[in-house]
């Protein structure tokens, strides 16, 4: 995964008709950023979020809040890391 540019956009639950586990919120965020889903990255802490990102065809890194995701959600995540700091370490390791 190479980061050519990092953009910021905000998309909230009320912006879409269907919430997670539907992919609508992530697809809307991609559209706002004018990026293809495969060129984006989702950081998620929930099984519904992992399912939504996977359905949107967006790579997803899980940063569990209270518990590690159950199967099959754990297998759908690109990686599972213990903290947001570890996301950076993981991304540097897969460049």
Domains of the chain: 13-93 (3.40.50.1000)
SS3 of 49, please? helix
pTM, 2 dp: 0.89
The per-residue pLDDT for 3 is 59
SS3 of 61, please? strand
Question: Quick one: what percent of the chain has pLDDT higher than 90?
Answer: 83
User: Other CB atoms closer than 10 Å to residue 29's CB: what's the count?
Assistant: 22
For residue 77, what is the enclosing H or E element? none
The per-residue pLDDT for 7 is 76
Which are the contacts of 79, defined by CB distance < 8 A and separation ≥ 6?
Answer: 61, 62, 90
- For 38-81, what is each residue's pLDDT tens digit? 999 999 999 999 999 999 999 999 999 989 999 999 999 999 99
Separation between Cα atoms, residue 4 and residue 7, nearest integer Å:
10
């Amino acid at each position: 995964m190479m980061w050519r540019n990092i953009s910021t956009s905000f998309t909230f639950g009320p912006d879409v008709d269907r919430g997670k586990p539907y992919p609508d919120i992530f697809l809307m965020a991609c559209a706002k950023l004018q990026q293809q889903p495969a060129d984006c990255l989702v950081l998620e802490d929930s099984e519904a979020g992992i399912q939504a990102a996977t359905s949107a065809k967006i790579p997803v890194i899980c940063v569990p809040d209270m518990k590690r995701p159950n199967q099959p959600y754990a297998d759908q995540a690109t990686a599972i890391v213990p903290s947001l700091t570890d996301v950076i370490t993981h991304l540097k390791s897969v460049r």
